[in-house]
Structure 1
C-alpha cells in the first residue's frame, strides 16, 4: 500500500508547479486509492511519522491532508489505534428488516446498549403515533447501536405493551422478539432526511454537535393494520448509506 501511495502522489506531481499545495495533492492521492479500492474499508493507514518519511513531507502537512478526508467521512480516527478507511454500511429500503437482522445478513456483528427500557402509560403524542387509546400501556426503548465497537445509530422506539408484554425479551432484534409473540411487522412507512445532530445524539455517536446525520422515522404495521412500532433513529452520516431499488412498470 505504501508503494502505491508513493506512486500516486508522485504521479500527481507531474506537471504541477513546485509551489502546489502538498496537503491537497496528498489528499487527492489518498482519495484516488480509496475510490480505486486499493485502500479498503476498515484498512489502517500508516502512522503520521511513516507517511512523512515515505513522502518527504512534514507531519503538519500529513495531518492536514488526513483531517480533510476525516471531515469528508472518507477516513476515521480511533483514539490510540490510528487512522482507518471509513466503513460505510448500506441499508436497503426495499426490505422490511430490523437493524440487527439487516447487519447480520451482511456478515457484521451488531451490538446494542439499552439506555432505557421501560413500561408506562401512553402520552397523547405516543397515542397518536401508535393509534392507541388514552390509558393504554406502551413500551419505551432507547438504544445505542454499535458495529465492531463503533457507535452507528441512536434509536427511540415505542411499541404497544399489548404486543410486547415483556420488553426484556428484546436483547438484540426487536423484530425477532415481536415474531416470538406472533406480531412481526408486515409493512412500514419510512421517512429519511438529512439533519445536523443535536448535542444528545452527537454525544452518543461520539461526534461534534452539528455533525451531519440521517434521521429515519419508521411506523410499522401488522397485517391487520395495527401499528406495532414507531421509531426515530439518528444515524452517523459518515458511516451509513441507504439504498433504494427502483423498477419501471
Structure 2
C-alpha cells in the first residue's frame, strides 16, 4: 500500500468538494504532481511559460488541459481561469522571483489554497509572507526519505504530516509477532497509533486492540518522529 495513495494524506485538498487543480510550472516536480492527481481521477490544468513543456504534458496525457502562460502576469492568470480554482500548486521552485510573484498573484486573485515549492528555507519564508498556505521542499523531503530507508530499512514508506509528525508503513517488528495491540500498549509504550495492518492485497483499517500482529505483515502507524524512531526497527 503506497501511503501517497491515501486520499486523506493530501493536506488541504478537500477530496469530496474540490475536484480541480491547477499546476503552474511543468518541470519534474510539476509534472509529477500533475501525473499523480490526474491518475487519481482529478481534473488538472497544467501551465508553463515554456511551450515545449506544455506540449509534453499534453502529448503524454498527464493533464486534463494545458496552456502556455506567463504566471507573473495577472491578466494571463485571470484569462486562463486560474483564480477560479480552489487549489493551485506553484511548482516553479528554481526561479525565485517568478515563484514569489506567481504565488502573490494567485493568492491576491482569490485562490483559497496555494501550495508552493521552495528551493531553500529563505525561499520558503518569502513564499509564506506573500500568502502561500503550504510550502513543500521536494529535494529535502526526498533526501530525508532516502536517509531513512538507508538507516531504517524496516520503514517501507513514509509521509510527513508536518515537521514533527509522520505516518509510516513498516515491517511488523519481530518483537511484536504473535502479540495483540493491547498487549503491546503501543500508545503508552511507544506513543504511536496503528492505522492499518496487512499486506499489499488487503489492509485491515483501524484494527482493534485484540488484533494479533504477524511479522509477515506490514503496519501503518502514526506518531511523532521521535516516537516512531523508538520502535524496534531494523
TM tier relative to shorter chain:
under 0.3
Bigger helix fraction: 2
TM-score when normalising by structure 1: 0.25
TM-score when normalising by structure 2: 0.26
Larger radius of gyration: 1
- Quick one: higher RCO (CA 8 Å, sep 6+), 1 or 2? 1
